[in-house]
Structure 1
Amino acid sequence: MKAQDQIIHDSLRETKLADERLSPYATCNSDCIKVKNTKKKAKEFDIRWPFEEDIDRVLYSKSYSRYVDKTQALSFFSNVHITKRSLHVQWVSRIARQIGRGLNLNLDLIEAIALGHDLGHAPYGHVGEKAINDCLEERGFGYFTHNANSVRNLLFIERNGIGYNVSLQVLDGILCHNGEILSPIYKPDSHKTIEQFWEEYEKCWHEKDYSFKILPMTLEGCVVRISDVISYVGKDIEDAIKVGIISIDDLPLEVVQVLGKDNKAIINRLIGDLVIHSYHKPYLEFSKEVFHALEILFTFISTHIHHHPTILKENEKLTRMVKELYDILYDDFIYRHYPQKGICAHVSKMAETYQQSPGELIVSDYLSGMTDSYALRFYEERFLPRQHGEMIEDY
């Protein structure tokens, strides 16, 4: 047997053995479905397992690079230790893989979903997301959600509009990762087909709040969905304490008694409780005590951090800024202002299939792809006067 043939044979054997060691409720590597009907070259061999390919496609995407300058929750505090989106997705991945290891699930699938779940987030997090959504809704196009936009980034925007060939299970986990919802039970929609996935994807753009109604097709997707919550509840509290929005003594006593009062304790309790109560089950659930405490904590964070008066005041400015950016970018694109730069130059470099997208969506793509600092610089350039030096008159 030739050396390369032997490597291929051994790799397939290892993949099969790995699948046999997984939980009966896990997603097997052999079940991986690619959404694009592309074929590798006859002589091409890839040592990676199927979902490992997806991990690398996420990691090497331009969208992933921009995580480093995108907000998680607190947009306008000058503190390098405040969570950015790049750290958040790594923590989601770490937590999800800990849960997945405890439940003997497919860790590669978990990692790919976790690292890619926020690729389509707008600048300034959920504030930017809502502002772009309002702009699309006002123009009668539909709605903007970062989870559907994350799928769009991977499939239709990356590589100058060619996109990547990512697996159905990863894309579905990204589409259904909604971390703004708590559920007593996380049960996958295990009979979902590729046709249902595409239907759900389209409805996320055209039916209001539809993304809140869909469920992941895999248990791994469910793990990432709850890990998104686990990763930020304790960290948002730590960040809020750092900047003086709340103090540790503000935490509800019923939360502290059950979950603890710092990020480490909260994460340990939530992961441990979830694994214990979900072991050998086709769904995820917490104990009643822990879930009740998590609900209280969830409400506390929303009220005392995300809706703190200081944050709401600044978020109004951010919302106005993002909407004004959308309006001016829309005019630039429709009337072909500045054809040699900006959004017009960007679109001219994209694949022909991408250029046929609706203008409202192209503007959404361009704006949502901006990082926080780039959006601010762009706004200053287009809306604020520039200092050109001081003229000294002759006397």
Structure 2
Amino acid sequence: MTRAVPKASRDTRPRGERWRAPYACDPGASRGRVHREDASPTRSDFQRDRDRIVHSAAFRRLTHKTQVFIYHEGDHFRSRLTHTLEVSQIARAIARALGLDEDLAEAIALSHDLGHPPFGHTGEEALDSCLAGIGGFDHNAQALRVVTRLENRYAAFPGLNLTWETLEGLVKHNGPLIGPGGEPSESNRHGVVPAPILDHDRIQPLGLDLFASGEAQAAALADDIAYDAHDLDDGLRAGILRLEELHEVPFLAELLGEIDRRHPGLDAPRTVHELTRRVITRFVEDVIAESGRRLAGARPRDADAIRGAGMSLVAFSPAMAEADRSIKSHLFPRLYRHERLMAVRRDAEQVVRDLFELFASDPAAIPADWRQGLDAAAPEAIARRAGDYIAGMTDRFALLEHRRLFEHTPTLRIV
């Protein structure tokens, strides 16, 4: 494959070293960490970030956090952790093809869901409602809190002390949060910048009005690709989606036709797998081709030129962006809002609300190690601490805590 970089600006390092384009983030030129540290003799700064994320408690807890289906519905359904690993693999593939720093793309991908509470988007919506009076809840902002404050492992600093580039990608992988005049940007779905992000930006400005690095853009697209492919897989496996109905989506109908022509009479399980792998392949190949065209046209001299391009340079083509929208539009009412899942969502939402109302009104119910500093705290601080505690829970632990504290706990099982 021909990489979309002018010959004069190609990397000229010795053969055998990883090719890095001039617009890639260079770990040797990182903008640094909030707390200064000596360089590692064996790993780049971005590799250290990746390793710290993988070894964090928050990362381990993703094992038992919901992606779409509650953890005990079956061992084959994706958890938040397996989704994260799949995003990481796709992000590395895109980054490698475009000459971006693979380790940074992987670190951003691995950290992007660390702020998700139990029960997936249901838990996030419930906590956002509970905390509405003090800024609400946003999983990207919570992920920033996790890696900068809540993950206490190191003697010299709070959090994981990640590089500026990883934090920037974590916060802005979906695009700028504010416009040139300080107004919320089009890519900011909340309409406001969450307080935790603004608080950190005062300490370490993240350029909230700019796009993120190419590595962060690759991680964001990898997330979309993984969602599309693997939610289809899980929905079909659960029997909530049917292969026949996927012909309503032209992109999927084309892939299913190709499978049928090449493998007539193929059984359903292998058809589903063939479909999933083709979805990923087509999207990844499209991102590489479209991004190559955009990068060749923009000719960014360095990573900052990508940030200031005024548009995403790592992107789907218009046709594939439409395919992405059509898949999500198909899945939303038929999978995410399916009546069997909605019944579970309502029960999960009540679990989160019950826990929050108890902890916010009675801080003594919060474990001692989470209660430090709350003795004379304002109600807002207590509520935020309750939110932090609940957001860190796995599905399983949230149900155990609810069962310990309340007389009746729902089973959260799809029927």
String of CA shifts for 1:75-102, please: whole Å, max 9, x gaps.
Answer: 2662100000110110000001111111
TM-score norm. by structure 1 comes to 0.77
Cα offset for 1:52?
0.5
Give the corresponding residue for 2:236: 241
Q: Residues 346 and 319 (structure 1 numbering): CA distance in 2 closer, same or farther, change over 3 Å?
A: same
Cα offset for 1:21?
3.8
How far apart, in 2, do the equivalents of 1:372 and 1:129 lie?
12
Asked whether the 8 Å contact 1:26–1:219 carries over to 2, the reply is yes
Letter in 2 for 1:158: E
- Is 1:330 aligned to 2:323, yes or no? no
How far apart, in 2, do the equivalents of 1:24 and 1:45 lie?
23
1:57-76 residue pairs with structure 2 within 5 A? 57-75=52-70
Q: 1:205 aligns with which of 191, 195, 200?
A: 195
1:16-27 residue pairs with structure 2 within 5 A? 21-27=19-25
Give the corresponding residue for 1:361: 384
Letter in 1 for 2:99: N
How far apart, in 1, do the equivalents of 2:68 and 2:330 lie?
15
Q: Residues 248 and 217 (structure 1 numbering): CA distance in 2 closer, same or farther, change over 3 Å?
A: same
- Is 1:165 aligned to 2:161, yes or no? yes
Give the corresponding residue for 1:375: 398
Gaps of 5+ in 2: 1-10, 181-189, 198-207, 257-271, 296-305, 307-312, 410-415
Give the corresponding residue for 2:205: none
Gaps of 5+ in 1: 1-13, 179-185, 192-199, 208-212, 387-395
Q: 2:345 aligns with which of 306, 315, 324?
A: 315
Cα offset for 1:205?
3.3
How far apart, in 1, do the equivalents of 2:79 and 2:316 lie?
28
Give the corresponding residue for 1:109: 104
SS at match of 2:73: coil
Give the corresponding residue for 1:210: none
Cα offset for 1:257?
3.9
Q: 2:287 aligns with which of 271, 274, 283?
A: 274
How far apart, in 1, do the equivalents of 2:196 and 2:57 lie?
26
1:281-300 residue pairs with structure 2 within 5 A? 281=295, 283-300=313-330
SS at match of 1:38: coil
- Is 1:36 aligned to 2:34, yes or no? yes
Asked whether the 8 Å contact 1:19–1:28 carries over to 2, the reply is no
Asked whether the 8 Å contact 2:370–2:385 carries over to 1, the reply is no
Cα offset for 1:134?
0.4
RMSD of the alignment, in Å? 3.5
Alignment size in residue pairs: 340
Q: Residues 88 and 143 (structure 1 numbering): CA distance in 2 closer, same or farther, change over 3 Å?
A: same
Give the corresponding residue for 1:99: 94
Asked whether the 8 Å contact 1:176–1:225 carries over to 2, the reply is no
Give the corresponding residue for 1:135: 130
Structure 1 vs Structure 2: percent identity of aligned residues? 27
- Report which stretch shifted further, 68-77 or 55-64: 68-77
Q: Residues 144 and 19 (structure 1 numbering): CA distance in 2 closer, same or farther, change over 3 Å?
A: farther
- Report which stretch shifted further, 241-250 or 76-85: 76-85
Letter in 1 for 2:385: I
How far apart, in 2, do the equivalents of 1:48 and 1:163 lie?
20
How far apart, in 2, do the equivalents of 1:177 and 1:355 lie?
33
How far apart, in 1, do the equivalents of 2:172 and 2:250 lie?
30
Q: Residues 356 and 263 (structure 1 numbering): CA distance in 2 closer, same or farther, change over 3 Å?
A: same
SS at match of 2:367: helix
How far apart, in 2, do the equivalents of 1:229 and 1:127 lie?
19
How far apart, in 2, do the equivalents of 1:305 and 1:105 lie?
35
Q: Residues 22 and 171 (structure 1 numbering): CA distance in 2 closer, same or farther, change over 3 Å?
A: same
SS at match of 1:284: coil
Q: Residues 54 and 292 (structure 1 numbering): CA distance in 2 closer, same or farther, change over 3 Å?
A: same
Q: 2:368 aligns with which of 331, 337, 344?
A: 344
How far apart, in 1, do the equivalents of 2:84 and 2:288 lie?
21
Asked whether the 8 Å contact 2:241–2:334 carries over to 1, the reply is yes
Cα offset for 1:320?
1.3
Cα offset for 1:54?
0.2
How far apart, in 1, do the equivalents of 2:209 and 2:240 lie?
34
Asked whether the 8 Å contact 2:63–2:81 carries over to 1, the reply is yes
Letter in 2 for 1:304: R
Give the corresponding residue for 1:220: 215
String of CA shifts for 1:211-263, please: whole Å, max 9, x gaps.
Answer: xx976420110111111010111111111111111111111241224555721
Q: 1:153 aligns with which of 127, 146, 153?
A: 146
Cα offset for 1:188?
11
Cα offset for 1:62?
0.7
Asked whether the 8 Å contact 1:120–1:368 carries over to 2, the reply is yes
Q: Residues 205 and 256 (structure 1 numbering): CA distance in 2 closer, same or farther, change over 3 Å?
A: same
Letter in 1 for 2:222: S
